[in-house]
Amino acid sequence: MKWLFYILIAILFIWYLLRPFYKEGFYNGEGYPIDYYVITMNSEERLSNIADQQAKLTVPIQKIDAVVGADVDIDDLVAKNVISPEFGNKTKRRRGEIGLYLSNLKIYNMIKEKGTPNGYSVILEDDFEIIDDDFENKIQAALDVLQSVDFDMLYLQNNSNEYNKDATIEKNHGVLIKDNIYYFDKNNYLFGTVGILINNKNIDRILDATKYMDQQIDQKIQFAGIYDKLKLTMMYPNIIDQRKNMVSIIGN
């Protein structure tokens, strides 16, 4: 009968090793529910890039038409107190910034209206590039870590020193939470909205913090994080980047 005892011990040992991978909602064949959205101007180059990145995923990316800044009635939005008079100038670049801001608000409202209440949403820009072969598993693992953290956004990509030579780090990441997940470092810059995961249950807090447009969207989120209006977390190293051969079209 000793062999039965040894078999039982072996089974228990294997179960102990595999137990972390079978927790509810984590690596169970389904994982945490995540919707993917990409903001796009639908140019041939950007649609080709989206197709390239879609091939790396097992879930569909929903293409969302970008708000075209050139078509926005800025005076009307200033009158409605949506945009500050100072931010609402009509230069070509500012119109692009306003278009990007409104595009993000468009998706925030979509999440509020029809997103999975206890799920998550990844918002991408159409020049994004997945740079990690284990992308989806790393997001699932990050969400497992964040189940005990009240957070609004998880940055999958960011820049800290792109426009600021005084920045002390290349990618914003502050105090370590666990593994590759960090809190936002309030003492360093936070640029970019190429890839951000949204905690759907906190979408009202996100909308409240971003409803008034007086800065670019990435700066608005940064300062909301600094003043604790939003709870920001960072994945570092990043698993998304801006595709190197693509230039920002905000000012075009």
Query: Which residue ranges make up each domain of the chain?
Result: 1-31, 33-242
Longest dimension (CA), the chain: 85
Q: Could you report the per-residue pLDDT of 153-207, keeping only the tens digit for each?
A: 999 998 765 555 555 557 899 999 999 999 999 998 899 999 999 999 999 999 9
Q: What is the pLDDT of residues 118-154, one digit of tens each?
A: 999 999 999 999 999 999 999 999 999 999 999 999 9
Q: In the CATH scheme, what architecture does the domain 33-242 have?
A: Alpha-Beta Complex (3.90)
**Confidence bin at 8 (pLDDT 50/70/90):** low
Give the residue ranges of DSSP H helices in 117-216.
135-146, 203-210
Whole-angstrom Cα distance, residue 204 to residue 231? 13
Strand, helix or coil for residue 128: strand
Amino acid at 9: I
Asked if pLDDT for residue 23 goes beyond 50, the answer is no
What residue has token string 């005990």? 148
